[in-house]
Amino acid sequence: MTTIADIERMKSIQEPERATFSCLFEEEYADRLALVRCYLDNVPTAAVCLVDRDETSGDYILSPLYVQITDQMDLKGPDGDPMPRMTDH
C-alpha cells in the first residue's frame, strides 16, 4: 500500500525534470514534439521526443523527454526503494 511518505518521496523532482516536463505544455515546443516507437532493453515501447535539427549536417536529433514504462522496468523512488505500479493495487 502506498503511504503518504511514498508520495512525498515521489514529489522530490528537481528543476531539470520540471523543465523537461514543461516542454510538453509550452506552445513554443508544440511543433517540435513527436511520439516515437523505441526499444528499451529490446522491449518495444514509445517515447515523447523533442525534435531538433543539426545546423551543420541537417540531421534530425531526437531527445527523449519521457519513455513509456514497460512491465520489465523496475521503478524505484529517489531512495532506491521499489515503487508500486497501478497494476499492483
Which residues lie across from 64 on neighbouring strands? Answer: 49
CA distances from 81 to 6, 23, 75, 89 (A): 10, 28, 8, 17
Express each pLDDT in 14-73 by its tens digit: 777 778 888 888 898 889 999 999 988 888 999 999 999 999 999 999 998 888 888 888
Q: What pLDDT is stored for residue 32 in this prediction?
A: 92
Whether this prediction's pTM lies above 0.75 is answered by no
Express each pLDDT in 46-59 by its tens digit: 999 999 999 999 99
Cα 34 from Cα 30, distance rounded (Å): 9
Residue type, 4: I
Every domain of the chain and the residues it spans? 31-83
